[in-house]
Amino acid sequence: MEKINIAVDGFSSCGKSTIAKGLAKELGYTYIDSGAMYRAVALFACRNGWMTDTEINEAGLQKHIPEIEISFETNSEGQQETYLNGENVEKEIRSLEIGNGASRVSTLGFVRRELVRQQQAMGKKKGVVMDGRDIGTVVFPDAEFKIFLTATPEVRAQRRFDELQAKGSPVSYEETLANVRERDERDTTRTESPLRKAADAIELDNSHISINEQLQWAIDMFNKITKQK
């Protein structure tokens, strides 16, 4: 069967990667975590002193952005890991701090243009499930199947909090909720490709459904769409 591209967009911590990874596994497609790419840019900027808690040295970052090469590799447990210029940065990019940094660098047009270029190249041969904020609107506007995921901020904060706790992070639920709200605000109000639902995306609120129900819904939708083609 001819492969298609699948776009999964939505707010932070609403389970985009769970549904995207599940679909990719089920269909034998390649999963690409576009948020990891923004996180890798944030790490690159922090490490080189172009981003502090309060400021971004845009000129410095812009000058060096062509030096960034982001790739993904599957580890021995079958999990995908992010590489920045050949270095495995998977663990480092998952912190709350780098998540915030990613949200900040993702407002910069030159960062978005470079990452969108790399993402479109990854999807050229189709068979890609990519999750992010602008996949259905900017990266793959012609994707045959677009999902827009939502869940309440409280449910999303609880999920993120559980994840961080499991990793031993000392943050509180209140801090996590505040962070979720702050990122929602920035992701939806930025001028460059703000998070919004593509006109032809199918919306799913997963606040009160299980991971399995969500995956089954996506598989059923995929079958329906590819049958119509």
Binding site residues, ligand DC, CB under 6 A: 12, 34-35, 38-39, 99, 102-103, 106, 132-135, 183, 187
Q: Please state the closest distance from residue 2 (CB atom) to ligand DC, in A.
A: 25
Please, what is the minimum distance in Å from the beta carbon of residue 34 to ligand DC? 4
Find the DSSP H helices in 9-95.
16-27, 34-47, 58-64
Query: Closest approach of Cβ 136 to ligand DC, in Å?
Result: 10
Read off the tokens for 141: 């506007």
Q: Which is nearer to ligand DC, 100 or 226 (CB)?
A: 100
Nearest distance, CB of residue 60 and ligand DC, angstroms: 20
For residue 131, give both structure tokens: 């999750």
Of residues 106 and 144, the one with the C-beta less far from ligand DC = 106
The residue (of 39 and 146) whose beta carbon lies closer to ligand DC is 39
Identity of the residue, 38 or 222, whose beta carbon is nearer to ligand DC in the bound complex? 38
> Are the beta carbons of 101 and 61 closer than 8 angstroms?
no
Going by C-alpha positions, the residue among 3, 2, 13 that lies closest to residue 149 is: 13
Nearest distance from residue 227's CB to ligand DC, in Å?
Answer: 29
For ligand DC, the closer of residues 178 and 226 by Cβ is: 178
Per DSSP, 203 falls in state E
Q: Is 17 within 8 Å of 33 (Cβ atoms)?
A: yes
Cα–Cα distance measured from residue 226 to residue 167, given in angstroms and rounded to the nearest whole number: 39
